[in-house]
Amino acid sequence: MAELVHTNPSEPDNSSSPQQPLTYDEVSEPQFAELAVASFTVEEHEGMTILTGPCPRCGRVFRFPVAAEVFRGPEEEGEEILVYCLSSADFAARPPDRTGCGAYWRLNLV
């Protein structure tokens, strides 16, 4: 079923707000990983690796905990992990059991 979404033409153009209204959508773009690598920080905390940074899609900063066993595999070559937005903001059409705006991407932890 198609759904029409109306935009309000009389809405003032608030150029001081960089964040556009977003609908939850499970999408991955090649630049997501590039942007995340450039902007995310990695810290270790009590055996957990925690990635912190702005979501490449919605721009909201979130923390993504990575279990230690994920990146300390038997190989010494690092591990590819799937990272997804955990922003606590509300997004239209988001399923109740999901968190974030739906963006996901893959990163290599070394």
Min dist. Cβ of residue 67 to Zn ion (A)? 21
Per CB under 5 A, 51 contacts Zn ion: no
Which pair of structure tokens corresponds to residue 25?
């959508």
Note whether 55 binds Zn ion by CB under 5 A.
yes
Query: Segment 80-99, which members bind Zn ion (CB under 5 A)?
Result: 85, 87
Residues 52 and 96: their CA atoms lie apart, in Å, by 24
Please give the distance of CA 32 from its chain centroid, rounded to a whole number: 8
H or E element that contains 37? helix 30-39
Rounded to the nearest whole angstrom, what is the least distance from the CB of residue 87 to Zn ion in the complex? Answer: 5
Q: How far is the CB of 91 from Zn ion (least distance, A)?
A: 8
User: By the 8 A CB rule, do 50 and 66 touch?
Assistant: yes
Q: Of 27 and 68, which CB lies nearer to Zn ion in the complex structure? A: 27
Task: Candidates 66, 83, 101, 107: give the one binding Zn ion (CB under 5 A).
Answer: 101
Sign of the torsion formed by the C-alpha atoms of 8, 9, 11 and 15: positive
* Positions in the binding site for Zn ion (CB under 5 A): 55, 57-58, 85, 87, 101, 103
